[in-house]
Amino acid sequence: MAGTRRLTSAVLLLALGVAGCTSAGRSPPEPTAPRPFQGVTYYGPGSRAALHTTEEHLVAACMRGKGFTYQPQPRPTGPNRLDTDP
């Protein structure tokens, strides 16, 4: 009796696992450009601009706290912007 119950449970779990792995009639997702770590380190243009602005203001505040003057720099533009602002 216990052996039959275990076998039934195992078959049921296997069937649920197989059913959960099927595509359920959905089309496959659109291919995206390959990015490291499945894109978790990719930020869109708006996010990059916000991160740059925030970083510049934090640097200015830190420098001011140490007695230095620092003017937040605008985000670089042009073909070499990745060389100056990764």
pLDDT digits (tens, 9 = 90+) for 15-67: 666 556 655 567 776 666 677 777 788 888 899 889 999 999 999 999 999 99
Is residue 10 helix, strand or coil? helix
pLDDT at position 77: 77
Coil, strand or helix at 62:
helix
Contacts of 84 (CB under 8 A, 6+ apart): 76
What does the block give as tokens for 43? Answer: 């930020």
Per the model's pLDDT, the better-predicted residue between 2 and 48 turns out to be: 48
Ramachandran region, residue 85 (left: φ > 0; alpha: ψ -120 to 50; beta: rest): beta
Q: Please calculate the CA angle 73-63-71 and round it to the nearest 5 degrees.
A: 25
Q: What is the pTM of this model?
A: 0.50
